[in-house]
Structure 1
């Protein structure tokens, strides 16, 4: 059953994944450069930014529909995995083969390695079909989330055009995109734009190591166009949320266990932020939930995502300091 409806339920969220994956998660004791590395298959599941967001929204008790591309045999496998999981989703058929990705968890070190190919090249016809479908479906939802990498061949203003048309229909857009898509879209009326450290560093020309660095990245985004709220994450420190009037430094909880994998941390943050906004929280409170959700996810291996109880426990340890924008 679809989550969206013409009356726009306050919890209706549409997430978009143009470059999904079938994530194969393996576990080894230690990786060696010679011979065979014997592995245990931990999980095989559908992945990609928007699919992970929809999964996380469900973990929090919300409702999200995942709209994603799907091509050829691996695309069929992706559809089947999502059906078996019970995730509400809609496919956009493409000519190319949906990609597979590997996550290798090394138990001795506790590190995880995420190996991701670029994905299928989208033809012009594929791209036009994707854009038309996103816009047609988005108008039945309160929030549109576009996140994850873009496949080769997608026009550089895809996200900008989607934002322009969705917001004209009264939909709030939450974005987590990179590269050319990011540079085009920050001039559009995005409700929330999230940057990771890599993209933020590319914008301001220096590493993102402190809250001050994150504030500078947010300032760049807010001054560039019509973005209402900017979030830049700072790894284990947490994140900075900047609005039109203030900066909010959201300090992450101190974890009692070493992190296992950050593969889905950003998606967890975006999901929690969007879900809490959809149920009526303000942006600051929503960002606090997002930081707690990301912290809960990095404690888990591979592409596992948080449990809601862990998010609630960590939320009590999240602290926010604010200052007025100059």
Structure 2
């Protein structure tokens, strides 16, 4: 623990996954619509974007607590799998069963077909329970990361309400979502947002064409009361505005195995390195290297630490 941390509360990051899932990857020799396939390999992972963030923070060496909504036997698997990785859990139990998200990978072409399951409908009682849980965990955390889509039944104001609770508890609120949940969440002024190209285009009502337009969009977000904005642009890198300075961050040159979870790994790196008190450039280096390492794993929210360390030296940071 760094000496400049003021109290034990800063020794932890909390992640919130309201739409938790089992990420089930099925590998087939050659996938075709309307055909019968024999699965050659199957991998089950505890999923949902916030849980992916928690897994990467733990792999980077951070202390993390995962909260959110889980249900049924699938929920038991999600919680147990996270606990086995050294992640503290504090979930709300819901009736029904947590969703399964299927990814069918065609080994001959490398293509993947995703089928995203629908989880249980969130009740008013669960809305109140998660608010209480997040508020309590925020008092013990340096940062609370809220990621992913809202489940059926959740109010569109859900993230905005949680952000206000996190801020009032003195922790930094990180928001990574899209659509209405993103635009409504902005009204509560989270500390950090990470829209990707599609999410930002949806918020703007148009797709920015170049770096200057991405940059303008980032400053529009800062005008909403956001402290840190990172726009992820896939293989083109990240446009970041932190502490009033803008950067274009270029990732290492790689041939990705799997891009699912790269954004979550980026958020994990930003939250973890921020808690450590790293410089702005060091935080960006950590986050982009974590995303690149995730891209080289077949599992979402998974990094090889040796690869991550190699990639840290290959990240290019260009002040704008």
Tell me if both proteins adopt one fold, taking TM over 0.5 as the criterion.
Answer: yes
Contact 2:262–2:300 at 8 Å: present in 1 too?
A: no
Q: What is the aligned counterpart of 2:278 among 281, 288, 293?
A: 281
Secondary structure of 1:54's counterpart equals helix
* Runs of 4+ more than 4 Å apart: none
Residue aligning to 2:3 = none
Structure 1 portions without partners, runs of 5+: 1-5
Equivalent residue number for residue 317 of structure 2: 320
How far does the alpha carbon of each residue in 1:69-90 deviate from its partner, in whole angstroms, 9 at most, with x for none?
1112322232333344443211
Normalised TM-score (structure 2): 0.92
Rounded to whole Å, the distance in 1 between the matches of 2:163 and 2:125 is: 20
**1:139-288 correspondence to structure 2 within 5 Å:** 139-207=139-207, 210-223=210-223, 225-243=224-242, 245-255=244-254, 258-288=255-285
CA positional deviation for 1:47? 0.8
Taking the aligned partners of 1:272 and 1:159, their CA distance within structure 2 comes to 21
User: Residues 188, 283 of structure 1: CA spacing in aligned structure 2 closer, same or farther, 3 A cutoff?
Assistant: farther
State how far apart, in whole Å, the 1-side matches of 2:135 and 2:22 are: 25
Kept in 1, the 8 Å contact 2:63–2:87? The answer is no
What CA deviation, in whole Å up to 9, does each residue of 1:82-108 have, x standing for no partner? 344443211201234211111222222
| In structure 1, C-alpha distance between the alignment counterparts of 2:250 and 2:84, rounded to whole Å | 37
What secondary structure is seen at the aligned counterpart in 1 of 2:91?
strand
Q: Is the 8 A contact 1:237 1:252 kept in 2?
A: yes
User: In structure 2, what is the Cα distance between the partners aligned to 1:319 and 1:31?
Assistant: 38
- Structure 2 unaligned residues grouped into runs of 5+: 1-5
What is the CA deviation profile of residues 97-136 of structure 1, one whole-angstrom value per residue up to 9, with x for unaligned ones? Answer: 2111112222221223332123221011111111111112
Distance 1:56 1:44, change over 3 A: same
CA distance in 2, matches of 1:108, 1:212: 40
Aligned residues: CA RMSD: 1.9
Whether the 8 Å CA contact 1:222–1:230 is kept in 2: the answer is: yes
Equivalent position SS for 1:32: coil
CA change 1:104–1:84 in 2 (3 A) is same
